[in-house]
Structure 1
Amino acid sequence: MVKRTKQRLWKEGLQVENILADKGYSSEENYAFLEKQNLTIYIPPHGTYKGCPDGSTYNEREDHFTCPQAKVIPFRKVFLDYRTKTKKKEYRASSKLCKDCPIKATCIRKVKEKRITVTYYREEYERNDKRVYSHLGKQMKKIRQSRVEPVFGTLTQYLGMQKINVRGISGTKSACIWQQ
C-alpha cells in the first residue's frame, strides 16, 4: 500500500515523508519496512513491546545485556517465535554464571540460567519510540487524531459504512451517496 501510494503521489508531484498511524499498525516488520523506504514514522508501539528488561542494560556495540549484578548475558541465536510468528533474538547466560548469584531467587526463579528474549527489530522500535514520545511526535498524534480519525468516525457512525472498498476522494464520495 505504501509503495503504491508513494508512486501515485509522485506522479502528482507530491512526496511522502511522514507516516502517521495508530497502534493497530505497530509491528516490527512495518517499522523496518517503512524505515527502508526512507520514511519518518510515528506509530505508537502496541502494549506487548517492553524494551529492555528491568534492571538490565544493553550494550549495542558488543550486542549483549548486562544483568543487575554486572554479569554479561551474551547473544545466542535468532529464532522465529512460533506463537507470534515474529523474529526474535535470544540472550542467555550459562548456568554457572547464575549459580551463586545473590538475586537468583528473584531474577531467574526456578530455571537454571538467565534468558532474555527481545524482538529482532529492537533498534527500529527504540528509534520509533523516541520519535513518538518527542514534542514533534505529540504534535503528529494531534494531527492524526484531528484530521484522519474524525473522517472514519463520521463515515462509520453517521453514514453507516462498515468497510471502505474504494480509492480516492471521488470514489469515497460516490460510496457515501450510495450508502444513504
Structure 2
Amino acid sequence: MSDRVPEHNFYRRLKEVLDLNFLYPMTKPYYGSSGQKSIDPVVFFKLCLVGYLENIISDRHLIQHSSMRLDFLYFLGYDIDEELPWHSTISRTRQLYPESIFEEVFTRVLRLCVEKGMVSGHTQAIDSAPIKANASMDSLELKVPKEDLETHLHHIRHISKIDKKKLQ
C-alpha cells in the first residue's frame, strides 16, 4: 500500500507525524472485555479526523468514501482488501465517548500537527454569504446624537453608493 501513496500526500505525511497511542489508556474505561471485538480507538479517531478534513458528516458516506481512497486506507492502517468497520459501529462508538474525550483528542492532535510543522497559523480563510438584512429601522439603537442623524445617514448612504460602484 505504501508504494501506491505518493510521498507528498497529506495523509501519508499525517500518518508519519501523528502518534495516537495516547488514545489507548484514555479510552480504556469505555471498553468492555467481553462480547464482540470493538473498533480500535485509533482507527475510530482517524476516521473522525478524515471526516472532519474531508467535510463528510455521514458515517455511511465516510466509510464508502474511505474504502475507495488508497491514501485514506494507508492512513487508517488498512490493506486494500480489508473491510472497514460498519458505519453503524462508527455511530455507536461516537456515542460511547463523552465530549471531553473528543476535546482532548482534538487539542492533542492539533498540538502534534503544530509541533511537526504541519500547521503554522499564517493563513486565514473566511467563508461568508451576503444575506439581506431583515431588521426594522425602528428597532435600531441610535449611536449618534439625534440632531446629527440625517447627516450621519447621508454619509452612510454615500459610502454605500461607493461600495456598490466598486462591485460593478
Which TM-score band (shorter chain)? under 0.3
Larger Rg belongs to: 2
Q: Which has the higher helix share?
A: 2
TM-score by length of 1: 0.24
Where is the strand percentage greater, Structure 1 or Structure 2? 1
Where relative contact order (Cα < 8 A, 6+ residues apart) is larger, the structure is 2
